[in-house]
């Protein structure tokens, strides 16, 4: 199968590309703009594989995307490209609207043109998988889980932009018949994670003996999903999911932010002992505006209908992640030194001017 992947140089996208090429043998065509979070080094393992192809392009550029579709003639699309950091969206929402909403519109229209030109089995088999987040559902109370029927209630510019793109994707199915499937995932973690996100930030700050910032009192809860489990889930949804349907992907690993940070500290102390326990580096900081308290995914539909199961629990996945960062400084050191050094984001009170 010829699969067009957008955002394939990002964290989840690169995991998808590596999985598709190394484990399944599908031919992969990666479109990525290579913003600060897109890193070609994340694709080093497959860069020379003849089944992998890279296109540097902006998904908002309709002409460029149309030309790529004409050249590639994909059998399926996995749309992951997105601005994805909540804190950055607080001070710079415009880029999130442009990429996540307008860019998704460009992709849907290009896919619709491709699909309309197909016939017979090729047309019946074509799929557009729109990959999204559980943040579109807003915040849970102490009980309950997000299901595919949970009403949307986004809290941040990031989650609002993703909610809008989800609605576009489903509308293109209902209005035009485009065979769209949507997935909403919980928080991902694992190798090649850009160091602005919680888990890699804490790992690298702890290695450097820097403070480990925890928002508020650390009681905010997230459901954690190992990125390689997510990559497997996405291919399952692409190939066996039902058009017009949404599938939630979660790891059933709820942890408070404080528990996550403490577990990282303990894991690092075990694998690379320091002069003092790294828990002493934990620092509580002012909470993020509009910080959702709890996310938790019910993945029953994906598990029962499509047969997917997560292979990693949080403890095994986190130890694999910490070991990867300890063993792969070649990947993260250039980012840490030249792109993002660990400073707090999202503190600006006003929209950045562009």
Per-residue tokens: 9: 């140089």
Q: Helices H, strands E: what count in the chain?
A: 13, 12
> Cβ contacts of residue 337 below 8 Å, gap of 6+?
none
Active site residue 189: no
351 is catalytic: no
Q: Which of 58, 134, 166, 312 is catalytic?
A: 134
How far, in Å, CA of 54 to CA of 18, rounded?
13
What is the Cα–Cα distance from 60 to 65, expressed in whole angstroms?
8
DSSP lists the bridge partners of residue 247 as 183
CB 49 within 8 A of CB 21: yes
- Yes or no: say if 24 and 1 are a contact pair by the CB < 8 Å rule: no
The first and second tokens of residue 21, run together, are: 């090429």
Of the candidates 272, 273, 264, the residue with the CA atom closest to the CA atom of residue 326: 272
Cβ-contact 79, 16 below 8 angstroms: no
Contacts of 74 (CB under 8 A, 6+ apart): 2, 3, 4, 29, 114
Under 8 Å CB-to-CB from 139, ≥6 apart: which residues?
A: 153, 155, 292, 293, 294, 295
Angle at which helix 329-338 crosses helix 314-327, to 10 degrees, equals 80
Which residue out of 52, 158, 215, 247 is catalytically annotated? Answer: 158
Catalytic residue among 27, 58, 87, 135: 135
Residue 87 designated active-site: no
**Rounded distance, CA 267 to CA 189, Å?**
15
Give me the helices (H) in the chain, please. Answer: 11-19, 62-72, 86-91, 93-96, 103-116, 120-125, 157-176, 198-207, 227-240, 257-271, 300-306, 314-327, 329-338
7 token code pair: 């955002």
Enzyme catalytic residues = 134-135, 158
């Amino acid at each position: 199968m010829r699969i067009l992947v957008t955002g394939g140089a990002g964290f989840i996208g690169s995991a998808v590309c590596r999985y598709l090429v190394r484990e399944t043998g599908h031919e992969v065509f990666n479109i990525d703009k290579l913003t600060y979070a897109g890193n070609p080094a994340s694709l080093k393992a497959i860069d020379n594989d003849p089944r992998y192809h890279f296109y540097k392009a902006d998904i908002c550029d309709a002409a460029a995307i149309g030309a790529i579709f004409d050249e590639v003639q994909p059998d399926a699309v996995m749309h992951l490209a997105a601005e994805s950091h909540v804190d950055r969206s607080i001070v710079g929402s415009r880029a999130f609207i442009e990429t996540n909403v307008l860019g998704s519109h460009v992709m849907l229209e290009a896919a619709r043109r491709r699909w309309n030109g197909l016939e017979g089995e090729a047309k019946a088999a074509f799929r557009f998988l729109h990959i999204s987040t559980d943040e579109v559902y807003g915040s849970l109370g102490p009980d309950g889980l997000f299901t595919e029927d949970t009403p949307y209630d986004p809290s941040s510019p990031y989650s609002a932009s993703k909610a809008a793109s989800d609605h576009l994707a489903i509308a293109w199915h209902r209005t035009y018949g485009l065979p769209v499937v949507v997935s909403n995932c919980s928080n991902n973690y694992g190798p090649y994670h850009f160091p602005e996100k919680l888990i890699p930030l804490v790992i690298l700050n702890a290695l450097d003996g820097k403070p480990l910032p925890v928002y508020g009192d650390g009681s905010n809860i997230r459901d954690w999903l190992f990125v390689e489990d997510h990559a497997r889930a996405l291919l399952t949804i692409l190939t066996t999911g039902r058009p017009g349907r949404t599938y939630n992907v979660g790891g059933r690993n709820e942890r408070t932010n404080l528990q996550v940070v403490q577990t990282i500290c303990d894991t690092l102390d075990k694998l690379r002992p320091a002069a003092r326990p790294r828990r002493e580096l934990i620092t509580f900081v002012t909470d993020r505006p509009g910080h959702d308290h709890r996310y938790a995914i019910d993945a029953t539909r994906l598990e029962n209908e499509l047969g997917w199961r997560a292979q990693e629990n949080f403890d095994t996945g986190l130890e694999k992640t910490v070991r990867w960062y300890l063993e792969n400084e070649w990947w993260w050191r250039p980012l840490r030194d030249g792109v993002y050094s660990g400073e707090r984001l999202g503190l600006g009170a006003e929209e950045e001017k562009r």
